[in-house]
Amino acid sequence: MKVVCIGEMLIDMVCTDTNQGLVNGVNYLKKSGGAPANVAAAIGKLGGTAHLVAAVGNDPFGTFLVNEIAQYNVNTNYVSVLPMSTTLAFVSLADDGQREFAFNRGADEQLSLDAEALSFLSSDSILHIGSATALLGGPLNDTYLAITKAAHKNGNTICFDPNFRIGLWEGKEAEFIEACTPYFKMADIVKVSDEELELFTKTNDMEAGCQYFHDLGVKIVLVTLGGDGCLISQNGKSTRVPAYKIKAVDTTGAGDSFIGAVLYQLSQHPADNTFYANDMASFVAFAGKVSALVCSSLGAMSALPTLAEVEAITFEINQ
């Protein structure tokens, strides 16, 4: 089964001056990025079938991105090349791998699809919606909603990662929550960080927070907890899957590789009448291994492992 990822594909300009921030940093390294692109690349690198729906500019950055994502076995038939600049994200790193973002938006917000494309992309597929920029307005916002509605009507499995970015939504958190709510109502799986859970639900009680999403119709809630692993909430039960020990170098793309690995597993195992209730813990444990490897190297895409690389490593649980 194919996995369709829609949203931004952009250039991450990663500041290599650790702990300097974007104000004082001087040296930058060009990397492929964009949350949906990272997810698609993770799926493709593991051996799954991934389609990316995105827009880049008709410039050297856009050419670089299309060539780069294709090397991860991602279908790029629905990547548009538009007569404008490619979107850029500037990222700074701290010693613990935490990040600061600043965005220079370009082509990503102009993505649009016709009815024929919507029909193809919503047939026999899992839809992943996890764009950091899609809810800001413009044609991408309209396209994002249209493909989600088409997939929901068609009965596709829908996964939503809200991907809150303070650099895009600072002071507009209420607008962000309102914009996300229609997607929560259509999603089968929602992946949030513990900070995002509190943002949406106004509580740091994990079970109460997860229930907020279940009340909207979400079947599975995945709450990523950094070094404490991931909480799975489904059918009134919560399960915590531990993380693995790593030396964090760059956490950019960690969440994307995690959900990409979960979606890869879903695409290889059609849902039964329990909707993965017996399998999700093992899917999440596998995804934790993929994410650990990504955090151990610089670059959201370049650090992605193959299935063989994941299986060849012995991981130690983070106690």
The residue among 67, 16, 65 whose CA lies nearest residue 36 is 65
Residue 318 lies in a domain: no
Token digits for 203? 């509580």
Which residues fall within 8 angstroms of residue 61, CB to CB, at 6 or more apart?
11, 85, 86, 88
Residue 249 lies in a domain: yes
Residue 319 lies in a domain: no
Residue 285 lies in a domain: yes
Q: Residue 240 maps to which CATH number?
A: 3.40.1190.20
Residue 77 lies in a domain: yes
For the chain, the domain total comes to 1
Query: Which domain, by its residues, includes 73?
Result: 2-312
Token digits for 164? 């809150």
Residue 27 lies in a domain: yes
Summarize pLDDT for 276-285 with one digit per residue, the tens: 999 999 999 9
The owner of tokens 């919606």 is 129
CB-count burial class (<10 Å; 0-12, 13-18, 19+) for 124: exposed
Taking the model in full, what pTM does it have? 0.92
Token digits for 301? 């895409």
Task: Looking at 206-269, list the stretches that DSSP marks H as alpha helix, in order from N- to C-terminal side.
Answer: 206-215, 254-268
Residue 317 lies in a domain: no
Summarize pLDDT for 86-133 with one digit per residue, the tens: 999 898 877 766 778 888 999 999 999 999 999 889 888 999 999 989
Residue 133 lies in a domain: yes
The residue among 308, 276, 278, 271 whose CA lies nearest residue 293 is 308
Cα–Cα dist 279/112, whole Å: 36
Task: Profile the chain (319 residues) by mean pLDDT over runs of 10 residues.
Answer: 95 88 90 92 97 97 96 96 95 75 91 91 92 92 95 96 90 96 98 96 95 98 94 96 80 85 96 93 96 77 88 83
Q: Contact at 8 Å (CB) between 191 and 254?
A: no
Q: HSE (CB half, 13 Å, CA atoms) of 99?
A: 25
